[in-house]
Amino acid sequence: MISLVLQAVGSLVLPNLRCPPEKLVDVSVIEKKAGETYIHLGIGGANTGPGHMIVATNTPDKQAFSILYDKDTEKWVARPTNTKFIPIGTKYGIRWKWTGWSFFGVWDIDTGEITLVRKKSSCLGNTFTPKITFPPIPKNLPTSFKTDKYGVFHLGCLSGKNVPYLGQLLKAGAGDQYSPSWNCPIRIKGDGTYLVFGFIDPDNAIPEWNEEDNWSMAAIEVRGTTITVLWTFEP
Ligand SMILES: [Ca+2]
Ligand SMILES: [Ca+2]
């Protein structure tokens, strides 16, 4: 069991992002196509709290902000970060995708080849509860809030010319998992042993009270289209 000790950073209530290893493999699929083998990996990120994770922007293609609650002043604080949202056309229209969510990949143990895929986030959805003890969750969030310096931010997944703001949210005590069908497949040689790995917030755009535990890995054996998990590891 991982012991969670809150590290005070002023009066800001910080989140903690994790990458549960089971979320790398529990929905992963092997696909055989045109003589090649592909692995479709899931990738899941969890926020074990106590702070909510919010990243937001006022304008696509410009700097985004990490938004944190200050428990002394009881106000939301926007901090500039090294990440942004970019506008991408989808079948639902233009969506602003956060470039800094995660990466995942595969290491072929036999050949040493490593394939890395960066994952943009289009809509974090609080889709699972992490199996990790977490500190008490602060009060729920409004759908929009005001910061002193940067104005009002709206949280939600819609974006486009009629929705000039966008924020992505992962509540404390919640996790978001991307289905493999939304992820870029990775070509592998076929049967063999592989390490799959994931890393949440690789650019460190989100301040957390623990920056060292954002990754995990799993060793898997592939036979045909069957995946057997040999072991998993998380810090
Ligand atoms: Ca973390
Ligand atoms: Ca971080």
The tens place of each residue's pLDDT in the chain, 235 residues long, gives: 333 344 446 789 999 999 999 999 999 999 999 999 999 999 999 999 888 999 988 777 778 889 888 888 888 888 888 898 888 887 777 778 888 999 999 999 999 999 999 999 888 887 888 876 666 666 667 777 777 787 777 777 765 555 545 678 888 889 999 889 888 999 999 999 999 999 999 999 999 999 999 999 999 999 999 999 999 999 9
How many Å apart are CA 155 and CA 48, to the nearest integer?
A: 20
pLDDT of residue 157: 73
Would 117 be classed as within a structural domain?
yes
Under DSSP, the state recorded for 23 is H
Residues whose beta carbons lie less than 5 angstroms from ion ligand 2: 201, 204, 206, 208, 211
pTM, two decimals, is 0.88
111 found inside a domain: yes
| Ligand 2 center from residue 201 Cα (angstroms) | 6
Task: Write down the pLDDT at residue 140.
Answer: 67
**Could you tell me if residue 3 is inside a domain?**
no
Rounded to the nearest angstrom, the distance between the alpha carbon of 19 and the centre of ligand 1 is 8
Would you state the pLDDT for residue 2? 35
7, part of any domain: no
CA pair distance 18, 23, nearest whole angstrom = 11
CB under 8 Å, gap of 24 or more: what pairs does 210-213 form? 210/4, 210/7, 210/16, 213/2, 213/16, 213/18
129 inside domain = yes
Output the CA 108–ligand 1 centroid distance in Å. 26
Give the domain range for residue 213: 12-233
Residue 140: how many CB atoms within 10 A of its CB?
A: 8
124 — phi, psi (to 5°)? Answer: -70, 140
- Position 160 scores a pLDDT of 55
Q: Which ligand is nearest to the CA of 215?
A: 1
pLDDT at 122: 80
The number of domains in the chain is 1
Q: Answer whether residue 142 is part of any domain.
A: yes
pLDDT of 132 reads 67
Question: How far apart are alpha carbons 162 and 138 in whole angstroms?
Answer: 31
- Predicted pLDDT of residue 125: 80
The pLDDT value recorded for residue 62 is 78
Cα-to-centroid distance, 51 and ligand 2 (Å): 12
Asked if residue 223 is part of any domain, the answer here is: yes
Q: Is residue 1 part of a domain?
A: no
